[in-house]
Amino acid sequence: MTIWREMQDEGLILYGCLMFGGELKRSSFPAEYKKHLAVAKQSLTYIFRSVEKNAKGYDEAHMEIGDNLFSGFRLDKDSVVIFLSEHDANTLHIRQFIEDNKKRFFDLLNDSQPA
């Protein structure tokens, strides 16, 4: 089972993607969510870049749009994992999942096989 599917099954997220150096490396966003993915990438990349320049120490951002919630978590300086969830998703549980599974996200990022 993929890590995305596992998070979906736990009711944490709808879709997710992994970015490295501002580029999309892995994604479970389906084709019909292309526009959502574009908004997620643009907004969260921008916010983390701003943070990098002006204020170190922030590693998590959430943006509520309509019925959806975009969440971004910095795994390290260059890697960000982004999720699309229902607007009332439990961000504490998502955060905990990431803390518990950080290595799996890095493995996925380094894996050459499709996610």
Partner 1 sequence: MTMTDYKVLFTGSVCSGKTTAIRSLSDIETVDTDARVSDSAIRRKKKTTIAMDYGVLDLSETARLHLYGTPGQERFKFMWELMMSDLVHDAEGLVLLVDNTRNDPFKDIRFYVEEFRDFIVRRRLIIAVTHSDEQADPDHEYYMGELKAMGLFTTVIFIDARDPSSVLKIVKELVGHREKNIDWKGLGQRLEVNSTMPRIEVEGDQEKEPLAVSEDEPVSLLDAALNTRGITGAIHLGSDRKVLSSNVSNKQNKDLLRSMVNLVSALETKASFMGSIEDLVLCGPQQETLSVFVEEEQALGLCSEKDLSINVVKQQAVDLLQWSQR
| Positions that interact with partner 1 (CB under 8 A) | 35-36, 38-39, 42-43, 46-47, 50-51, 54-55, 57-68, 87-88, 91-92
Strands of 29-78, DSSP E? 60-65, 68-74
User: What does 79-111 look like in DSSP terms, one character per residue?
Assistant: EEEEEEEETT--HHHHHHHHHHTHHHHHHHHH-
Q: Which is nearer to partner 1, 8 or 91 (CB)?
A: 91
Tell me the closest approach of the beta carbon of residue 93 to partner 1, in angstroms. Answer: 12
Q: In the 8-state DSSP scheme, what is residue 67?
A: T
Amino acid in the structure at residue 62: H
Q: Which is nearer to partner 1, 1 or 55 (CB)?
A: 55
Q: Which is nearer to partner 1, 31 or 92 (CB)?
A: 92
